A and B are shown apart, each in its own frame.
Chain A
Amino acid sequence: MALDTLNLLAILGMAVVTYATRVAGLALAGRFDLSPRAQAAFDAIPPAVLIAVIAPSALATGWPETAAAAVTALAATRLPFLAVVAVGVIAVVGLRAVV
């Protein structure tokens, strides 16, 4: 059961910042009034970060990955979560085989 010091440090740091976001409501409840614009920016944080993390593998790896990402996005408009992931993975395997 390996436990790398740097990995442990990263996990503890992630745990601390996540716990802070979860209990922040105890201090902020009742005195937090965002403008609609700030609310929109706040709501946009998860998609902005998720897309920033995967953009290089979707857009800067090769055309099979980019095409598979487009197929996945299309599937995401109509299929449930795990089906979308399955479609994406099958698409990339198929497209790589064609190259």
Chain B
Amino acid sequence: MSSALDDARTGFSDIWPAMLAAAPFALLFGALAAGKGLSPLEVFLMSALVFAGGAQFAAVELWATPAPVAALIFSTLLINARHVLMGTSLVPKLDGFAPWQKWLGLAYMADENWALAEKRARTQPLTPGYWFGMIVPFVGCWLMMTTLGAVVGPALGDPRRFGADFAFTAIFIALTAAFWKGRVTAWTVAASGIASALTYRLAGPPWHVLAGALCGLAAAWLSAGSDAVVATEEAA
């Protein structure tokens, strides 16, 4: 016997540690976005409509005036392509959801709440109460903290003084470690890094993103070839 409210409470108690962990990350995102000339309203809209941490950081790193629209959309698409696989795995577990709850709920599927939902689905059916109990506070916190970061960011002065211009590099290295799956990732990182740095020198931005990403994927494909079964087991 579990009411929707009980399920929502369980969802909240499962998500809050991830919510707290994302809060400083959100503040930093807002401050860096403001440093690139984005207004608090633009930061709020991006967080509300895109809501994807890694892709948002990548976009702000690439951001310039005027905005390189095609490069921003392309890098966002690539970074979020993993959502296709996450959704394919999650959708069969959403039988208790009305169609509108699926279309709305999936708009806020992120790594953290996806992982928690997959874990919960192993022991009991996923309910809309549980899902929305997770995503409503999680999204609310992300919106509030990123916007706050954009408001207070400019007051901090020249970001280079605090090494904040290097924060992206450090964040992306840390994110890459979170996605680490052994030997295949090592080849991916080496190929992507070298191809991107060379292309940046020879052809300039934004081509380095495309060249690096494609070389990284090719390296993953090639290095997974000889023992693909092992690579899949590592991934699972």
Residues of chain A whose beta carbon lies under 8 Å from any beta carbon of chain B: 1-4, 6-15, 17-19, 21-26, 28-30, 32, 35-60, 65, 68-69, 72-73, 76-77, 81-82, 84-85, 87-90, 92-93, 96
How many cross-chain pairs have Cβ atoms below 8 Å apart between A and B? 311
A56-B188 Cα distance, complex, nearest whole Å: 16
B69 in complex: contacting residue of A10, A29, A35, CB < 8 Å: A10
Complex Cα spacing A68 to B201, Å: 20
Cross-chain contact of B168 among A38, A54, A87 (Cβ < 8 A)? A54
Q: Do A56 and B55 form a contact, CB below 8 Å, given A14-B73, A42-B85?
A: no
Partner of A90, one of B54, B73, B163: B163
Nearest CB on A from B205, distance (A): 8
Cα distance A52–B217 when bound, in Å? 11
Chain B residues 154-184 with CB under 8 Å of chain A are: 162-181, 184
Known: A2-B39, A10-B69, A53-B75. A81 touches B178 (CB 8 A): yes
Chain A residues closer than 8 Å to B171, beta-carbon distance:
85
Given A40-B221, A77-B177, A81-B21: A17 and B163 within 8 A (CB)?
no
Q: Which residues of B contact A (CB under 8 A)?
A: 21, 24-25, 28, 38-42, 45-46, 49-52, 54-55, 58-59, 61-62, 66-69, 72-73, 75-92, 102-103, 106-107, 109, 162-181, 184-185, 188-189, 191-197, 200-201, 205, 208-213, 215-217, 219-221, 223-225, 228-229, 231-232, 235
